[in-house]
Structure 1
Amino acid sequence: MFEDSWYSFVPDYQHQRTPSRTQHAGHRRKESLLQQPNGTADRTDTPEPLPALFDDRELVDSPPEPTLARRAKSYSDFYDVVRVQLSGQGAKKKRKQRRSGRSWEALAVPDSVTSRLPVEEDGHDDELEKALLRASQQEYLLYHDELAMTERHLGTLVDDANSALKILESLCQSFRAVDEQTSSFQAQCDGLLTEQKRLQTLAEGVGSDLQYYTYLGSATRRLNAPGAGRLVDGSAFIEMVTTLDSCIEFMTEHPSYRDAEPYLARYQSLLAKALHLLEVGFNNHLNKVSAEISRQIAATQSESARHALAYGRFEEMVFESYSLIPNVQAVVARAYDEHGDAYSTPNAHVYANTANALFHSYWAARERDLKPIIQHDLDVFKAEASESIESAARNFVKQSFERSYNEASMFGKMFAIEPHYSTHPKSAFVALKSHQRSLLTGTNVTPISSNLQPVLQSSDLQTICNLVGWITNEYLLPDYDEDETPSVGRCRELAARLLAEHLWAFTDAFFEAEIVKSITKAVVPPEALRIGPITNGDVASNAFPPVKRALELLVMFDQSMPKERCQRNSPVVFKILQQSIASLQRAEARLRSSPPPNKASNDIPTDPDLFLIKNLLMLKNELLTLEIGDIHSAAGPAVQTAAAATSLQHFSQIWDTLRPATLLGGLWSSFGTLSGYIPGSSLWSSSSSSSSLPTPAAAAGGGGLEVQDASEQLDGLLRQGIVAFTRRWAAVVVEARAAPGRGGSGGGGGGSGKMGGRNWVRAERELDEMLARAFGGQPEVVEKLKEAIRIAAEGMGRGGGTGGA
C-alpha cells in the first residue's frame, strides 16, 4: 500500500548519544567527592557525577578522538610525521589509563565517611521516566505509528468500498426498475427484429426467384436479334444456355408458381432455338472446312498427302474458330459423360438430341471428305482379292482398323468424349452405332463386314476359317501387358466386335451350309458303305465319307474359333455331330437291309455294328483330341428334362448288357491309353448317363427320340454298337464250341458241325480279316474287341444259352 521510503522519515535513535562523548573531553581536574555541599543549589547537583563516570568509561573504551596530523613536507619527512603521531597516541592512551585508575580510587570512600554523608532524597521524575521509556521504546513506537497509519488507510479503503457497494446496489435497483418498466418495449423490439429478418429473407427469396422471370426478356431479345447466329462463336453462348437450363429446371420444380407453365414453355422454346443456332453454326463451319479439304484431296493422288489433308489439315482448320468448338463440347458434355454414358437430368434428352445431330453432321462432312480415299482403298482391295482373297482381306482389315483408330481420335478431340462399348439405348455408343455409313468410325465396324462379306461369299470355307482364325490369333489371343498402347486396345475392341457381330455369324452360316451339302444331303454310293483297307497309315482313310468330312469340319471350326466358343453349346459342333450320327444311322440301316454278298465272290461283307463302331470311335476320338465337351442344342427346359429322364431309364438297361460290370469296366478303361482314335474311359464310366437312343433298327425306322446332348448321343450309340457286335460274335463262338467235330481236319460231310455253311475256322478267319481291315495298324483295338467277345461268350456259356444273336 505504501512505499518503503514513506517509513524513513523517523531519524535513528542511536545517533542522539553522539554529543555525550565530547561532553567532558577537557583535561580539567574533577571535583573531589569528599567535598561537602555548601548550599541548596549544590545539593541539587549532587546526582550529576554518575553520568560523568559512564562518560569516562566510554571514552576509555571508544576509539581515540580524531586529530589532524601534520602534513609531511617531503618523502623523507614522512617517517618523522608518522613517528610523532604514533608516540602521541601512545602517551594519550597511557594518560587515559592512569586517569581512569585515579577516578576509581577516588570512589573508594571509607565506610566511616559514608555514614556521615547526608541521606539523599529519593526524587522521582516522571518526565525523565517517560523520556527514558520513549528512548528505550523508540523503535517499537515507530512500528506502532506505522501500523496505526496503515490501519487508518485500510479503514478509509473499507469505507470507500462500502460506499461503492451501496452506490452499485442502488444502481442495480434502478436498472431493475428500468428493466421492469421496459420489458414490454423490449418484447416489441424483438418482435420487430424478427419480422425484419423474415421480411429480409422473404425479399431475398423473392429476388432470387424473380431473376428466373426477368431473364426471359433478355434472352428473348438476344436470340431474336438479327445477328443472333454470331452468339454461337462467342464465350457468352454457353453462359446463356446454362441460365436457360437453370430457368427451365426452376419452373419444372415449382409448377405452383404464378405463370410457371407459360414461362416454362417459352424457356424451352428459347433453349431449343439456342441449340438450333449452334447446330446451324457448326454445320456452316464444317461445310466451309469440308469444301476446302475435299477440293485439296481430290486434287492430289499421293496417299500420304491425302492422309495429311484428311487429318492434320482438317483438324487445324476446324479448331480455328473462336469459341464454336468449346461451345459444342460443352453442349455434348451436358448430354453424355466422358465415356458416352447418358445423364438423367431433366433436359438431358434435349441436349442428347442436339449432340446426335452434331454427330450426324460431323460424320456426313467426314464422309464427303474421305470418299475418294475410301473408294481408292476399295478398288485396291478388290484388285488384290482377284489374286488372293485371304491376303487381300488381311490387308483390308489392318487398314480399316488403322483408319478407325484415326477417326476415333479425331472424334475425341472434336467432342471431348470417348464412347465405350455399351448396350444402353440412350448411350452415345448406341447413337453413333445407329449411323450406318460407309465411313469407319470408332463405334461402327459395319463397313468392314459389308465390304468383306461380298468378296468372301465367293470363296471357300477354308479361306473364311483362315481369315477368322488370323483375326482371332492376331488381336484377341495375345496377352498384352498393362502398358499397351491405345491403338492396340482399340484394335482389340474392333476385332472382338467385328467377329462377334458379323464374321462369326457369317462363318457359322457357311458351316451350316457345308454341313447340309456334304453330310446331310451328301450322295453316298453303295461302295462307300464298305470298310476298305487303311492306306498310308491314316486311320481315317477308310472312314465313311460324311464322317470324314465331319472330322475335317470339326478341325476347321476349332482352328478358327476360340476355345470358349467351340467347347460347349456350339450350334455348329452340335449340328456336325447330329448330322453325322444321322448319316451313320441311315448307312447302318442300308447295310442291314442290303442282301448278303455272293458266296462265290471273295468280298468281305461289311458288318453294320462294326461300321458304326469304327466311325463313332473316330468322331469320339476327334472330340477328345480337340477338347470339346458336352454339346447341347438350344432346346427348351421341357425337352431337356424329358431327355434326362429317358437317359436315366436306359442307363440300367445298357449297363446290364455289359455283364460282368467290373471286368468290362476295367477292360474298356484301358482304351484311353491307345495311341489312335480310341476314346477314354468315359465311354464306359458309370457316372455319365447314356442318352435315350433308339436301337439301330428303330433308328432305321425313324422312330427314335431326338436328344439334346450330341456327345451323350454319340456315347450311347457307341455302347449299343459294341454290345451288339460282341454279343453276336459271342453267340457264334458259343455255337461253334457246342457243335460236334469242331476243329477237325474236314472228315466226312456229315461229321463236321455246320454253322450256317461255315465252320469255326472260317468264322475266326473272317473276324480277323474284318477287324484288321477296320482297325489296321491298331492291334490293341483288335485285341480288346476279341477279349470282349471271349468274355461275353464265357458268360453265355455259363448261362447255358446263346443269349440271342
Structure 2
Amino acid sequence: MYEDSWYNFVPDHTHKRNPSTQQTSGHRRRGSLLQQPNGANQPDAVEPLDRLFEEPETSIDPPEPTLTRRAKSYSDFYRVVRAQLSKDAVAKKRRRKAKERSLDALMIGGPEIDDASQALPRLASLDGELIEASQREYLLYRDQLGLAERHLDTLIGDANGALDLLTSLADSFRAVESHTSSFQAQCDDLLTEERRLRKLADEVGTDWYYYDYLDGVTRRLNAPGASRLASHESFGEILTNLDACIAFMVKHPDYRDAESYLARYQSLLTKALHLLEVSFTGHLDRISADISKQIVATQSDSARHALAYGRFEELVLEADGLVFNVQRVVRSCYEQLGNPIPGQNFDYYSNTAVSLFSSYSSIRDRDLRPMTQQDLAAFKKDVKDVNTETACRNFIKRCYERSFNEASLFAKVFSIEPQYNADVQSVYAILRRQQRALVDAANIAPISTTLQPVLQPSDLQTVCNLLGWITNEYLILEDDEEEETQYSIHCHDLTARLLIEHLWPLTDNSFDSEVTKSISRASISPDALKISPVVNGIASSNAYPITKRALELLAMYDQAMPKERSSSPVVFRIIDETILALQRAESRLKASKAATPDPDPDLFMIKNLLILKNGLVSLEIGDVRPHPAAMQHFSQIWDTLSPQNWLGLFRGILGGTLTLSLWSSAANSTVLPGRSQAPAEQDAHEKLDDLLRQSIYAFTQRWGTLMNAARGGKRGAQSSAALEKELDEKLLTAFGGQPEVVAKLKEAIQINAQAQKEVKAEKSVK
C-alpha cells in the first residue's frame, strides 16, 4: 500500500505511472484507498512478506485490487471512500455466503468414514485451513499497518533532524549578532556624521549662492546690451533672485560683509527697474510718434477711436515680453484693485510703478488731446445752440465712454483695475494726483472744471434737473435690470465720485445763494401779508410768498438729491431762514395799527408754519411735491397737541406757569419712526414745533376770551353769533377746503374758553 519513495523529500516526477496498467500482486492484495495515483512508480517486483506464503487459488480469494479515481477535493474524496466501502461490504457478504456453501459442501457427499482415527487428523487440518483463510484479510491489514509505522518513524526522524539543524543555525546567528553589534553601532555613528556633514554642506552651498550671485548679475546688468533684458523672460528671474538676495542679507545682518552686499544688491535692483522703465517709455514714445500723427490727420470720430484704442493696444501688446515684465513689477507692489502690498522692496517697485503710470498717462494725454479739444468745442457749441442741460448731459456721456475705454486699456497694459481708495499709496491716489486733461477712472476733475463755469450762472432749476438726471441714470439701478455690465458699474463709480466731490458741493452753494437772495433778503410788501382765499383747494396757494419759495426750494432739493442727503444742512437752512422771515412778518403785523383787512398774526403764523411743517415732513418720507394738495401731516401734528392735554395746559398758562415738558415731548414725537435724526435736524424740528404751538395757544386763548365775553354779555363785546361768524370767515379764508383743521381749531377754542371759566370760578371761590 505505501512505498518508501512516497516519503522522499524530493519526489521523482520523471517516471509516471501508466493508469492503464493493472498492478499485479503475488498476494492479490486489495488496493488501498489512500494510495496516490500520481506518486512514484512502484517497483517492478514485489518481494513476498516474511512469514506469508501464497495459498493456492480457491474460490475464497480476496477481491482484485482496483485503481480508484483521485479525489479533486475533500468532498469528492469522501464520496469515493464511501463508494469503496460499500463495494467492500458487498464483497464480504459474497465471501461469507461462499464460505457457508463450502462448509455445507464439506458436510455432504463422500464415503462414510467409519474409522474415527482417520477422521480426526483430517478434521484438524481442515480447521487449520479455515482459520488461516478467515485471518488472511486481517493479516494483510497488519502488514500494511506495520509498513505505515516504519514510514512514520522515518518521517519523525527526518523532522527531528531538521529541528536540530535549525537550532544550530539560530545559535550561529545569535553568535554572529553578538559579534557584529559593536560594528553596527560604529556604522550608525558614521551615517549620522555623514548626514550632519551633508546638511552643513547644503547650508553652506545655499548661503554661498547669495554671495556668488552678485558677480554674475552685475555683469549682466552692466553689459552694453543690458537694455534688451527688459524684454526677455529672464528679467523676471533676475528680479526674483535680487529680491531673495536682499531678503537674505536683511535676515542675516551678522554675516560677513552682509551690509555691503545688501547695498550692492539694492543698487542692482534699482538699475534693473530703471532699465525696465526706460525700455517701456521708449516703446510708448515710438508708438505715440506714429499714432499721434494719424489721429491729427484724421477727421472721422470712428477712425480716431480705432487709432486711439484699437491700434494703440495692438502696438503696445506686441512687445509681450516687455509688457509682461511691466505687469510683474506693478503686481509686485499692488494687488488687482490697486491696493498696496507691503513688502521688503515695496518702495523700489512702487517708485518704478509711479514712473510707469506717469509716462503712460502723459503720452495718452498728449495723443488724445485733439479728441479732448474736439469734445470741449462740441460742448460749448451745444451750450449756445441747444441749452445748458442738454449740453452737460452729452458731455458727461462722452466723458464716461472715454473713461471706460481708458480704464479697459489701462487694465490690459498694467493688469490692474484701480478702484477708489483713500490710501495715499494706492494706485487710485497716485493717478488722481497726476494733473491731466484726459478723463479716466481716477481723474474726473476735468468734467467738473468744464461744467462748473456753465452751471454757476445758470438757474437753480437747471442744476437740479442735471443732478436728478445723472442720479437716476447712473447712480440708482433699476429693479428689473437683469445683470450689471462692466460699463454700468464703471459709470456708477464715476457718478458717485463726481457728485460727492464736485456737483453736490456746487449745488449746495447754489442753494445757499438762492436762500440768501429769495428768503433772507427778500422784501416784504403789505399785500403779501394778507391771507387770500384758497385757490382750487391747494393749501399752499394762499401762503406767504417766502413760504412758497421755501417749498419750491425743498422740492428742487429733493429732486436733485437722493434721500440719504435729506438731512443736509441746506434743508435746515431753508427752514431756519423761512422761520426768521415769518417772525419778521408777524412782528410787522403786530406792530401795524391798520384795521380789519390785516390778518390775525397768530393765524398767519399757524397757516404758514403748518405748510412749512408739512413740506419738511414730506421731504423726510420722500413725498415732497411742488404743490401739495392738502396738509396730510396736520393730523399727526394735531395728535401731538392732543385736546385731552389742553385743559391742564391752559390752566398752567393762565395760572402763570408753563409746562415745558409737554412741549419737548410733543416735539420729540414728531420725529418719524425708523429715521435717525441729526442734531441740526432735531433743532429745526423743535424750533418749528415750538413756534407752531405758541401760535396755536395764543390764537385759541385770545378767541376763547372773546367767546366768554360774548356769552357773558360783557359791555362792548360782540354777540356770540357775530363772533362765531367772524371766526368762521377767518378760518375758512385761511384753511379753505380743509374742514379738519377748522374743526380742530374750533374745538381748541372751546376747550380754552371752558378752561378760562373754570380758572375764574376757582379764583372767585378762593
> Could you give the per-residue CA deviations for residues 346-392 of structure 1, whole angstroms, max 9, x where no partner exists?
22332222222211111111101110000010011011112300010
From 331, 339, 362, give the equivalent of 1:364.
362
| Letter matched to residue 427 of structure 1 | S
Q: C-alpha distance in 2, partners of 1:344/1:207?
A: 30
- Deviations along 1:98-146, one digit per CA (max 9) or x if unpaired, are xx999976531335xx57x79979999xx99999999776524532442
Describe the shift of the 1:160–1:654 C-alpha distance in structure 2 as closer, same or farther (beyond 3 A).
closer
Are the aligned partners of 2:589 and 2:598 in contact in 1 as well (CA < 8 Å)?
no
- Cα offset for 1:313? 1.0
**Could you tell me which residue of structure 2 aligns to residue 790 of structure 1?**
750
- The equivalent of 2:646 in structure 1 is 658
Match of 1:781 among 733, 741, 744: 741
Alignment equivalent of 2:731, drawn from 761, 771, 775:
771
Which letter does structure 2 place at the counterpart of 1:610? L
- 1:7-44 deviations in Å (ceiling 9; x for gaps): 9999635459xxxxxxxxxxxxxxxxxxxxxxxxxxxx
Question: Matches of residues 101-500 of structure 1 in structure 2 within 5 Å?
Answer: 107-111=111-115, 139-140=140-141, 142-172=143-173, 174-179=175-180, 183=182, 185-387=183-385, 388-479=387-478, 481=481, 483-500=483-500
Deviations 1:429-459 (A, max 9, x none): 2222222321111222221111111111121
Alpha-carbon separation, structure 1, partners of 2:680 and 2:695: 18
Deviation at 1:661, TM superposition (A): 7.5
CA shift in 2, pair 1:55/1:515, >3 Å: closer
CA shift for structure 1 position 506: 1.1
CA displacement 1:221-246 (0-9 Å, x = unmatched):
11111111111111111111111111
Q: Which residue of 2 aligns with 1:576?
A: 574
User: In structure 2, what is the Cα distance between the partners aligned to 1:139 and 1:122?
Assistant: 26
Q: Shift of the alpha carbon at 1:585?
A: 1.6
Question: C-alpha displacement at 1:534, in angstroms?
Answer: 4.1
Residues 471 and 188 of structure 1, relative CA distance in 2, 3 Å threshold: same
Partner SS, residue 386 of structure 1:
helix
Cα deviation, 1:137-157, whole Å, max 9, x if unaligned, reads 652453244234314422531
Structure 1 residue 169 displacement after superposition: 4.8
**Aligned partner of residue 185 in structure 2, secondary structure:** helix
SS of 1:540's equivalent in the other structure is: helix
Amino acid at match of 1:187: A
Matched residue type, 1:275:
L
The one-letter amino acid paired with 1:580 is T
Indicate if the aligned counterparts of 1:10 and 1:142 stay in contact, CA closer than 8 A.
no
TM-score, reference length from structure 2: 0.76
Q: How does 1:723-738 map to 2 (within 5 A)?
A: 723-738=697-712
Aligned-residue offset at 1:469: 0.3
Q: Please report the TM-score for the alignment, with normalisation by the length of structure 1.
A: 0.73
Assess if the C-alpha contact under 8 Å between 1:604 and 1:770 holds in 2: no
CA 4–454 in structure 1, closer or farther in 2 if over 3 Å, else same: farther
Partner Cα distance (2:348, 2:442) in 1? 23
Tell me the equivalent position of 2:593.
596
Distance 2:641 2:107 in 1: 169
**Aligned residues of 2:704 and 2:750 also touching (Cα < 8 A):** yes
Q: Which amino acid aligns with 1:386?
A: K
Aligned residue for 1:107, secondary structure, equals: coil
Aligned residues: 645
Question: 1:400-438: per-residue Cα shift (whole Å, max 9, x none)?
Answer: 111111111111111111122322333222222222321
Question: What is aligned with 2:691?
Answer: 717
Q: Which amino acid aligns with 1:475?
A: Y
Distance in 2, Cα, partners of 1:317 & 1:789: 86
Code of the residue aligned with 1:195 in structure 2: it is E
Deviations 1:58-99 (A, max 9, x none): 69xxxxxxxxxxxxxxxxxxxxxxxxxxxxxxxxxxxxxxxx
C-alpha offsets along residues 516-562 of structure 1, whole Å, 9 cap, x if unaligned? 22112222234433334445654334322221211110010111111
User: Hey, what does 1:543 align to over in structure 2?
Assistant: 543
Give the C-alpha shift of residue 328 in structure 1: 0.7
- In the alignment, the residues of structure 1 paired with residue 538 and residue 641 of structure 2 have an alpha-carbon distance, to the nearest angstrom, of 36
Is this contact kept in 2: 1:690–1:715, CA < 8 A? no
Q: Is the 8 A contact 1:381 1:396 kept in 2?
A: yes
AA matched with 1:380:
A
Partners of 1:394 and 1:57 in 2: CA distance: 139
SS of equivalent to 2:646:
coil
Written as runs of structure 1 = structure 2, the 5 A alignment for 1:5-24 is 12-15=25-28
Between the aligned partners of 2:725 and 2:57, the Cα distance in structure 1 is: 180
CA contact 1:340–1:419 (8 Å) conserved in 2: yes
Quote the Cα distance in structure 1 between the aligned partners of 2:545 and 2:488: 44
Following TM superposition, by how much is the alpha carbon of 1:188 offset from its aligned partner in structure 2, in angstroms? 3.0
- Deviation, 1:687, is 5.7
Deviations, residues 588-608 of structure 1 (Å, cap 9, x unaligned): 22222x2411x5xxx522221
| Separation in structure 2 between the aligned mates of residue 729 and residue 330 of structure 1, nearest angstrom | 85
Deviations 1:315-368 (A, max 9, x none): 111112241111111111111122222212222332222222211111111101
Please give the alpha-carbon distance, in whole angstroms, between the structure 1 residues aligned to 2:309 and 2:458: 35
Worse-superposed segment, 608-617 or 514-523? 514-523
2:33 counterpart residue number: none
Structure 1 residues 629, 399: closer, same or farther in 2, change over 3 A?
Answer: closer
275-284 or 522-531, which deviates more: 522-531
Residue by residue, what CA displacement relative to the aligned partner does 1:183-208 show, whole Å, maximum 9, x if unpaired? 2x433332222111011001111111
Partner SS, residue 615 of structure 1 = helix
Decide whether the 8 Å contact of 2:210 with 2:245 is kept in 1. Answer: yes
Amino acid at match of 1:232: A
Does residue 521 (structure 1) correspond to residue 521 (structure 2)? The answer is yes
Q: Which residue of structure 2 aligns with residue 613 of structure 1? A: 606
Which sits farther off after the overlay, 480-489 or 221-230? 480-489
1:690/1:713 contact within 8 Å kept: no
Quick one: distance in 1 between partners of 2:141 and 2:291? 122
Deviation at 1:708, TM superposition (A): 4.8
1:621-770 equivalences under 5 Å are 621-628=614-621, 658-659=646-647, 688-689=667-668, 708-740=682-714, 753-755=715-717, 763-770=723-730
Using the alignment, how far apart are the partners of 1:156 and 1:451 within structure 2?
119
**Superposed displacement of residue 706, structure 1:** 9.8
Cα pair 2:465 2:560 within 8 Å, conserved: yes
- Measured in 2, the distance between the counterparts of 1:299 and 1:728 equals 85
Contact 2:563 2:622 in 1 (8 A): no
* Aligned 8 A contact 1:796 1:802 in 2: no
Identity of paired residues, percent? 48
Matched residue SS, 1:626: helix
> Which residue identity lines up with residue 606 of structure 1 in the other structure?
P
Q: Which has the larger radius of gyration?
A: 1
Give the superposed CA RMSD. Answer: 4.0
Bigger shift: residues 714-723 or 520-529: 520-529
